[in-house]
Amino acid sequence: MALAQHTVSWQGSPALPITLCMIQAGAQPMTSVQYLLELQRDWAHGETCNQTVATAVAHGGGYGLGLIHAKTMFNASEGHGLPAEQA
């Protein structure tokens, strides 16, 4: 899988031809949030879950906002919820 920045305009970028060649060869582009969640995989691992949530809240755009919303509206607590400074 190829990691693609979802917030960067690729028009005129020198990386565009390389990315297109990778896609033609079978690579599937993914966003940085998808990559982060692939690294986490198992939300039962508490030692990495809180850091993953904190990273998603800080840098995950709409996904991070969704985590904050779930925590505040529904008191979601997968992996012990948001870090104390975000709650």
Looking at the DSSP assignment, which residues form a beta bridge with residue 30? 3
Q: How many angstroms separate the CA atoms of 9 and 3, rounded?
A: 14
pLDDT in tens, the chain (87 residues): 555 554 455 567 777 888 889 999 999 989 999 999 999 988 887 889 889 999 999 999 999 999 999 888 887 665 555 555 554
